[in-house]
Amino acid sequence: MQPERWAKNATKWIPNNGRRRRGRPRKRWRDDLDNFNTEWCEQALERDTWNVTITDFDLTSYRQCLSKWNAAAAVMHRECQALGARCLAVQYERLVLRPRETLARVLQFLELPWSERVLHHERYIGRPHGVALSNVERSSDQVVRAVNREALDKWVAHVPADVRADMAELAPMLSRLGYDPWANPPRYAEPEDPAAAAAPAPPNHPLDT
């Protein structure tokens, strides 16, 4: 089944073939949903109206999200430290600001040879032997884009002043990971030379033809 057809196939009711038996019609599985919301079927088919949710995160509360993030980051940091040399921590902002330097470190950690193609993942999405993405995954519209820096400060103007004032207490992992919890906007590493970061991928690969 094509990914974009699953909602239609899952919500459309197909009646039994043949003659209906005597008595009251059998209750359909969707009848309870119809009693709750008569437009649920149409809404399920309209992907653009779906809300993005993250389990246990209240996306209307910056305080709750920061606390949840801090707890998750603390667990990951502790587990990475326990693994020692078998774990490599990669900061998102360093990846997008200094992609060549960061990806070189990742490939070295994985004991893989360097390839310029890792700087241009967007060129291989949807290509034969390339990267396949789901049409129903909400983050796919971001993954198809080239590495960019838009998300680094997109959130700055949205965090309430009282939350910014309590940032160090709400998320102490910020300081532990090397961030200044009071910096708004945040201070990141210097970006790479744009010419180096945007170097073209070599054309001698099957995916490039």
Q: What is the pLDDT of residues 80-99, one digit of tens each?
A: 999 999 999 999 999 999 99
Q: Note the pLDDT of residue 63.
A: 93
Cα distances (angstroms) measured from residue 96 to each of 77, 147, 150, 175: 21, 6, 9, 21
Q: What is the pLDDT of residues 169-203, one digit of tens each?
A: 999 999 999 999 988 888 887 888 765 555 544 44
Dig out the tokens for 130 from the structure. 């390339």
The pTM (predicted TM-score) of the whole model is 0.64
Dig out the tokens for 200 from the structure. 């073209």
Name the CA dihedral angle for 156, 162, 164, 167, rounded to a multiple of 10 degrees.
-140
